[in-house]
Amino acid sequence: MADPATISPATLLKDELDIVIPTIRNLDFLEMWRPFFQPYHLIIVQDGDPSKAIKVPEGFDYELYNRNDINRILGPKASCISFKDSACRCFGYMISKKKYIYTIDDDCFVAKDPSGKDINALEQHIKNLLSPSTPFFFNTLYDPYRAGADFVRGYPFSLREGVPTAVSHGLWLNIPDYDAPTQLVKPLERNTRYVDAVMTIPKGTLFPMCGMNLAFDRELIGPAMYFGLMGDGQPIGRYDDMWAGWCTKVICDHLGWGVKTGLPYIWHSKASNPFVNLRKEYKGIYWQEELIPFFQSVTLPKDCTSVQKCYTEIAKQVKAKLGKVDDYFNKLADAMVTWIEAWDELNPSGASKSSDLPNGASK
């Protein structure tokens, strides 16, 4: 495999990656990202009132979908796509035909590294995705495939080839991604620490995935990136990316793929209202104590060799084991199945890989 440090990402993936942005407002924030995003195709998923016009700066190649479009394209299956919640972004994952996805929130701006240089977050995500992961044995120098690093003494040679990377999870400077109780007790806290590291999350370890600076291999893991039922008409919010992250990690562990976290950083500009967040989160904070043990104990049968099969099996177990926690999880399990059906209808050739297939090239 080519050394990711020497890859020219913009040339390599310009036609293989979509940038997905959920929004309710004009996308002025794209001006700051223009040097990095303009070569790429954007998929904008408009949340809220579909009659409201969203302005996109000139010069960007984009398609925009609102709720009317989602209903028209998916028909009755549109019920699986959340409304009045940024979870609607996963419709963009489904409608894309590209190999890779990068998703970012519209209150995220270009951060600077410690030297004062603008960080090209997309370039770093691409480097993360194009280099292998090491989920089976932790390397104490973190990512061994980065320039200036390698495997340390004692690292098994049989594992040094690594496995395909399915997810690159980036971080944030300024406003940290805190839950409402932490926001309330630390209202002025800002993240100023720039940690120059990328690491593979070990097999068997869950993590809280944040969707505001996230990239993934859509052909590999796309069908698992369902952001659940959140927002309007639902008893919970702000757990959309968490749910997708837990499902994705369990499936990656089962199929032998990797998830990386660390670089790149973006600048998260706006703290959301902690009282509003608490209303959205409080059931999730309570339910989480049941959800985490559930995902830690999920086992997938050997015949689950594709992401769709794995995801459908998780939905079955959600209904059987979490349905008794609250009826919401019965609805969520049904929506998970609907999501997979809708995914397969829009991607009939099967845009995800089985674990016994190589990590293929773009269509």
Q: Tens digit of pLDDT for each residue in 246-275? A: 999 999 999 999 999 999 999 999 989 999
Say how far residue 186 (Cα) sits from the centre of its chain.
26
| In contact, 57 and 27? CB cutoff 8 Å | yes
CA distance 107 to 111: 12
- The string of pLDDT tens digits covering residues 64-108 is 999 999 999 999 999 999 999 999 999 999 999 999 999 999 999
Identify the pLDDT of residue 358: 34
Q: Which residues lie closer than 8 Å to 230 by C-beta, 6 or more apart? A: 82, 85, 87, 236, 237, 238, 239, 240
Mean pLDDT to the nearest integer, 178-202: 97
Judge whether residue 134 has pLDDT over 60: yes
Query: Which uninterrupted H or E stretch holds 276?
Result: helix 274-297
Mean pLDDT to the nearest integer, 269-296: 95
**Domain range list for the chain:** 107-355
Identify the pLDDT of residue 128: 98
| In contact, 216 and 99? CB cutoff 8 Å | no
Identify the pLDDT of residue 349: 74
Judge whether residue 188 has pLDDT over 70: yes
| In contact, 231 and 80? CB cutoff 8 Å | no
DSSP per position, 164-184 = -EEEEEEEEEES----HHHHH
Judge whether residue 9 has pLDDT over 80: no
Mean pLDDT to the nearest integer, 295-322: 98
CA distance 49 to 329: 27
- The string of pLDDT tens digits covering residues 146-179 is 999 999 999 999 999 999 999 999 999 999 999 9
Band of pLDDT at residue 1, cut at 50, 70 and 90: very low
Q: The whole model's pTM is what?
A: 0.94
Identify the pLDDT of residue 271: 84
Residue from 91, 100, 82, 32 nearest 63 by CA: 91
Residue 10 or residue 203, greater confidence: 203
Q: Which residues lie closer than 8 Å to 46 by C-beta, 6 or more apart? A: 23, 24, 52, 54, 64, 65, 66, 67
Judge whether residue 51 has pLDDT over 60: yes
Judge whether residue 224 has pLDDT over 60: yes
| In contact, 21 and 42? CB cutoff 8 Å | yes
Band of pLDDT at residue 361, cut at 50, 70 and 90: very low
Band of pLDDT at residue 356, cut at 50, 70 and 90: very low
Residue from 289, 293, 291, 313 nearest 224 by CA: 313
Identify the pLDDT of residue 291: 98
CA distance 112 to 120: 9
Residue 95 or residue 348, greater confidence: 95
Judge whether residue 357 has pLDDT over 80: no
Say how far residue 17 (Cα) sits from the centre of its chain.
14
CA distance 23 to 82: 13
Q: N- to C-terminal Cα distance for the chain?
A: 20
